[in-house]
Amino acid sequence: MASHIEGLGFPGQTTPLATCLHERFARLAEVLKSRDQVRTSLPLASGERVLATTGDSGGSWVAASDRALYHHVDPSGMAPAREWVRVGWEEIGSVYWNDGECTLIFTGLVPTVARRTVLHLPTGGSLGHLAHERVAWTAVVRTEIQLGQHGKARVIDRRRPGSDELTWLVGLDGGSDTAGLQVDLEAALNELRGQLGV
């Protein structure tokens, strides 16, 4: 039984195939080393697991965990950031993967996340699909509730991965804080929670 394969060339002679394979394995080893360095540099919470990593077209890395997306774009959504930027899946309003441009585009749902962030990922299709799945998993409800004389409010409820916590976001139409608004809002939210069983 053969334990190795010979015949890629004559002894002492290097063939183009052997050179190509050697170069590819060397690049693969560098990528794996870089990914290990990325994984150890992430500011992960206790119990948080990395699901995917990929390099962006600017030489930075993007990582997805079971709880968040990590990248190196500053909160304005435009310039590179030095440190990791962590965006919890429940903090992302929408996520879109553009195959043609190899970009992952997401919108922030909370004020601490940029309204729109674009990440250029030359090989990130699988990360794009993973991001879409993780954001969809967090969604509990998106609806409007009536607030009597105060009009209506948009309500979004999201699960926070890694905990039993629900994040409630409320957007008021008109934005004015009139007398009794807080009472009507709490009553409407309690009714909605009762309907949802949360």
Q: 108-161, pLDDT tens digit by residue? A: 988 888 899 988 887 666 888 899 999 999 999 999 988 888 888 889 999 999
Contacts of 184 (CB under 8 A, 6+ apart): 147, 148, 149, 150
Rounded distance, CA 63 to CA 43, Å? 11
Rounded distance, CA 14 to CA 17, Å? 8
Q: How confident is the model at residue 79 (pLDDT cuts 50, 70, 90)?
A: low
Same domain assignment for residues 133 and 149: no
Here the CATH number for the domain that contains residue 71 is 2.30.29.30
Same domain assignment for residues 108 and 164: no
Q: Does any domain span residue 15?
A: no
pLDDT of res. 28: 46
Same domain assignment for residues 188 and 155: yes
pLDDT of res. 175: 56
pLDDT tens-digit readout, 166-189: 888 888 876 566 777 888 888 888
Q: Does any domain span residue 131?
A: yes
Rounded distance, CA 118 to CA 108, Å? 11
Same domain assignment for residues 62 and 122: yes
Same domain assignment for residues 103 and 144: no
Helices (H), 42-73: none
Q: Does any domain span residue 20?
A: no
User: Structural domain of residue 185, as residue ranges?
Assistant: 139-196
Q: Does any domain span residue 41?
A: no
Same domain assignment for residues 55 and 119: yes
Same domain assignment for residues 121 and 181: no
Q: Does any domain span residue 44?
A: no
Work out whether strand 80-88 and strand 92-98 pair parallel, antiparallel, or are unpaired: unpaired
User: Tokens in use for 132?
Assistant: 């879409």
Last residue of a domain, one of 138, 161, 183: 138
Last residue of a domain, one of 89, 115, 138: 138
Contacts of 18 (CB under 8 A, 6+ apart): 8, 9
Is 57 within 8 Å of 121 (Cβ atoms)?
A: yes
Mean predicted confidence (pLDDT) in 101-108: 90
Q: How many separate domains does the chain show?
A: 2
Q: Does any domain span residue 76?
A: yes
Same domain assignment for residues 147 and 106: no
User: Tokens in use for 140?
Assistant: 């509990």
Between 25 and 103, the higher pLDDT residue: 103
Q: Identify residue 140 by its one-letter amino acid code.
A: V
Q: Does any domain span residue 3?
A: no
Question: How many residues are recorded in the chain?
Answer: 198
Same domain assignment for residues 112 and 150: no
Is 43 within 8 Å of 63 (Cβ atoms)?
A: no
Same domain assignment for residues 126 and 148: no
Q: Does any domain span residue 103?
A: yes
Last residue of a domain, one of 138, 160, 180: 138
Phi, psi of 64 (to 5 degrees): -120, 130
Q: How confident is the model at residue 55 (pLDDT cuts 50, 70, 90)?
A: confident
Rounded distance, CA 117 to CA 191, Å? 35
Whole-number average pLDDT of the chain = 79
